[in-house]
Amino acid sequence: MTHSFLPGAEAEYLEAVQFFEEQRAGLGAALIAEFERIVDLAVERPNSWKLVHSSGVRRIGLARFPYAVFYRILPNGQLQVTAFAHHRRRPGYWLKRIGV
């Protein structure tokens, strides 16, 4: 199983990587590594994390950074990242991305 991003989620992710890299060299790379670790876990066990919406969206938090990955499993089995959300961002803002 592979993963993909919705455009808004990918933009959030890239902005966060850039922000942390600007704060300290190497911190953006650390965020990328943490994200990849989390996505690998979600790909291996997609139903292990909390279901947050009836559309099948689940949430998994990053350990080192104040972000969570919201994702769903598409009919073709691919993991789709619907949001890369900071913990302080308003809840549910990403619902419009999935047509809710």
Closest CA to 6 of 78, 90, 91, 87: 78
10 located within any domain: yes
pLDDT at 100 over 80: no
pLDDT at 92 over 70: yes
39 located within any domain: yes
pLDDT at 99 over 80: no
Q: Range of 18's domain?
A: 3-85
97 located within any domain: no
25: number of Cβ within 10 Å: 8
How is 36-73 classified by DSSP, letter by letter?
A: HHHHHHHHHSTTSSEE-STTS-EEEE-SSSSEEEEEEE
pLDDT tens digits, one per residue of 25-63: 999 999 999 999 999 999 999 999 999 999 899 999 999
pLDDT of residue 44: 92
pTM, to two decimals: 0.91
Q: How many domains does the chain have?
A: 1
> Which CATH number covers residue 72?
3.30.2310.20
d(CA 96, CA 92): 8
> How sure is the predictor about 66, in pLDDT bands with cuts at 50, 70 and 90?
very high
